[in-house]
Amino acid sequence: MSTDTMLHQYQHAGDVHGLYKDSERHRDQLKTEAMCRIADNLEQLNMRLAAMGRLDEARAATQQAQLAAIITQLGKLTGDEQ
């Protein structure tokens, strides 16, 4: 095998290795980006769930106030004011 052929094969192997390393870096970068997107989505979901929880609490408080008002009105109608 001539020196030029060996040099060419060595360069080709280096190129392939370089491409492999580039693809590894690219894969790692994609994994990192995906993990960041997942974390962002989870954070948004948690904020939405918290907001829904507060909304549910507000609805429950409103319903309790309405129920208390109805009980008061019924008490007035029946003469059993409390």
Domain ranges of the chain: 23-82
Whole-prediction pTM: 0.50
Comparison of pLDDT for 22 and 78, the residue scoring more:
22
In sequence order, what are the residues at sequence separation of 6 or more whose Cβ sits closer than 8 angstroms to the Cβ of residue 74?
Answer: 80
Separation CA 7–CA 10 (nearest Å): 5
Q: What are 6-57's pLDDT values in tens digits?
A: 777 777 777 777 777 888 889 889 888 888 888 888 888 888 888 888 878 8
What's the pLDDT score for residue 80?
A: 65
What's the pLDDT score for residue 56?
A: 83
